[in-house]
Amino acid sequence: MLDLHEIQATVLRQRPAPYFGTHVLLRVDDARAGRKFLSRLTPHVDSAAGWWKAANAWLAVGITYSGLEALGVPQDALQSFPEAFRVGMAARARQLGDDGVNDPKNWEPAFGKGEIHIGVSVFSDSEEKRQRALAIARQQYEGFSGVQVLAMQDFGAQPGDRNSLGYKDGIDQPPVEGSGIEPLPGQGRPIKAGEFILGYPGEAGVPLPMPQPDILGRNGTYVGFRKYQSRVGAFNRFLHENASSEQERELLAAKLVGRWRSGAPLTLAPDVDNPALGADPQRNNDFNYANDPRGRQVPLGSHIRRMNPRDTQLTRLSDINLHRLIRRGTTYGPPYAANQLSKEDDDVARGAIFLFISAKAMATMEFLQREWVNDGDFIGANGERDPIIGRQEAGATFTVPKEPVRRRVHGIETFNVLRGGEYFFMPSISALNWLANSGT
């Protein structure tokens, strides 16, 4: 059984639909003030007890490595964190394939400099509750000279619960063993909790290494925070250049992702969209690729098939249950529209901030970025990258398998550009109290 009272709610609780929220990124200039802030904030951080019923807004809190340093966490505890976390996401750009337009030197100024110390996220199902929860968070840091807000980003579902490229997203999540409710149809067998929460056995039967002392690490996890900006104009131009009617454009858009924009999976709705299917959580993820080994329905290189290959025969010995992330996608900025075709539409501040949650988030993100996002060898599509989140080279292509011969679509660009990112440790409730009371 999991200590649900200890684990932060956000690890298990999905964002509501519709959703409203805010990310607040803070810097701690004075260790004592930072710890005081944590001790005041912690009573308002929701645990995962009863995570499946969320009546009110909830807060999540994460701390970066430089944040732990700024809070005055003892040296031996600091050294017990894994190296990729200690050096931070920007310093791991090579391992993450964050180069070219995604290079940390092109990031928004707040990110990648070791200045973001604490992240607080508010999630809720109404704007009014968001305001209330944000006010509670604000009361804990306002008036403290030693804690500064570096950046704030409101987020919220677009009309129809769509993301910045017009898709319903966040459908497929890995089921966590022992979390208390049955997986949805098609979610697969529950994955050992230790893959997602520190202190429990993982898929290999042993717990992953955990920060010390025990109270600091246990029931905590890591969060990869990544802010993407969607180049909506480029995406729409690509669809227009490669498809001649709205119907064809929607089919091409579906082939890139593996789902229609409604969320209906191509496996279950191969030729025409089925919005009722897309909206039904009991059905919209209930499929595998047994009858589609070559990707004639869902291209092997499509976004959802890359991120969860399910029963796809891969070219490399892989255990897909080791490479899953819980993700909390949070869309920001104005909604998508299919007629936004200009270069100016590329520069509008809109996109998604993802929280990628796992007990080994750093290693998993490096694996995914290198093997499944920015390469195609694992599916026998050498050189092709994920059409949605890949960092594309000039001349990039996307292969749509079909009879009698495959179609190779040209003009794929980097449609989602990375604008910043950080690794956070998401401590348990007890660890938050420990952090608030320890330090030098």
Partner 1 sequence: MDTQTKTSPSPKRDQALQKIQQLRDMFADAPELGKTALENVLRELTSDASETPPPPVESAGRVGSRLGKVSELTIIVPLAPGGARRLRAFLRLLHGNLKRGGDLVGTLHDMRFVFLDNDTKLLFATSYDGDWDAYIDDFATKIPDYLDIIDSAWDGWPGIRSPGAKDYLAKHQITADGWYVAHPDLTVAEIHRLKRIGKAVDELLEKVG
Size of the site for partner 1 (CB under 8 A): 22
Residue 14 binding partner 1, by CB under 8 A: no
- List of residues 6+ apart from 79 with CB closer than 8 A: none
Q: Which is nearer to partner 1, 182 or 319 (CB)?
A: 319
Closest to 322 (Cα-Cα) out of 176, 194, 195, 187:
195
Q: Which of 91, 150, 171, 322 binds partner 1 (CB under 8 A)?
A: 322
Residue 79 binding partner 1, by CB under 8 A: no
Q: Which is nearer to partner 1, 157 or 210 (CB)?
A: 210
Q: Which of 367, 397, 433, 438 binds partner 1 (CB under 8 A)?
A: 367
Q: Which of 182, 271, 319, 403 binds partner 1 (CB under 8 A)?
A: 319
Footprint (CB under 8 A) of partner 1, residues 370-399: 370-371, 377-378, 380, 382
Residue 56 binding partner 1, by CB under 8 A: no
> What's the gap between Cα 226 and its chain centre?
7
Residue 317 binding partner 1, by CB under 8 A: yes
3-state secondary structure at position 396? coil
Closest to 91 (Cα-Cα) out of 77, 75, 76, 112:
112
Q: Which is nearer to partner 1, 193 or 234 (CB)?
A: 193
* Structural tokens at position 240: 């227009």
* Structural tokens at position 5: 């009272």
State the minimum distance, in angstroms, from the CB of residue 293 to partner 1: 14
State the minimum distance, in angstroms, from the CB of residue 10 to partner 1: 25
**DSSP state letter for 46:** P
Cα atoms in the Cβ-side hemisphere of radius 13 Å centred on 68:
30
Q: Which of 1, 282, 316, 395 binds partner 1 (CB under 8 A)?
A: 316
199 to 218: interface string for partner 1, x by CB under 8 A = ----xxxx-xx---------
Return the number of other C-beta atoms located less than 10 Å from residue 214's C-beta.
12
State the minimum distance, in angstroms, from the CB of residue 321 to partner 1: 8
Q: Which is nearer to partner 1, 171 or 314 (CB)?
A: 314
The residue written with tokens 């003892």 in the block is 74
CB-based contact 236:230 (threshold 8 Å)? no
Whole-angstrom distance, CA of residue 233 vs CA of residue 249: 14
Residue 190 binding partner 1, by CB under 8 A: no
Whole-angstrom distance, CA of residue 156 vs CA of residue 21: 6
Whole-angstrom distance, CA of residue 421 vs CA of residue 354: 9
Residue 98 binding partner 1, by CB under 8 A: no
Q: Which is nearer to partner 1, 80 or 438 (CB)?
A: 80
The residue written with tokens 């604490």 in the block is 118
State the minimum distance, in angstroms, from the CB of residue 102 to partner 1: 19
Return the number of other C-beta atoms located less than 10 Å from residue 40's C-beta.
16
Q: Which is nearer to partner 1, 203 or 280 (CB)?
A: 203
* Structural tokens at position 381: 């599509």
Taking the CA atoms of residue 199, residue 123, residue 263 and residue 354 in that order, the dihedral angle to the nearest 10 degrees is: -60
State the minimum distance, in angstroms, from the CB of residue 218 to partner 1: 16
Residue 288 binding partner 1, by CB under 8 A: no
Residues lying near partner 1 in the complex (CB under 8 A): 203-206, 208-209, 314-319, 321-322, 363, 367, 370-371, 377-378, 380, 382
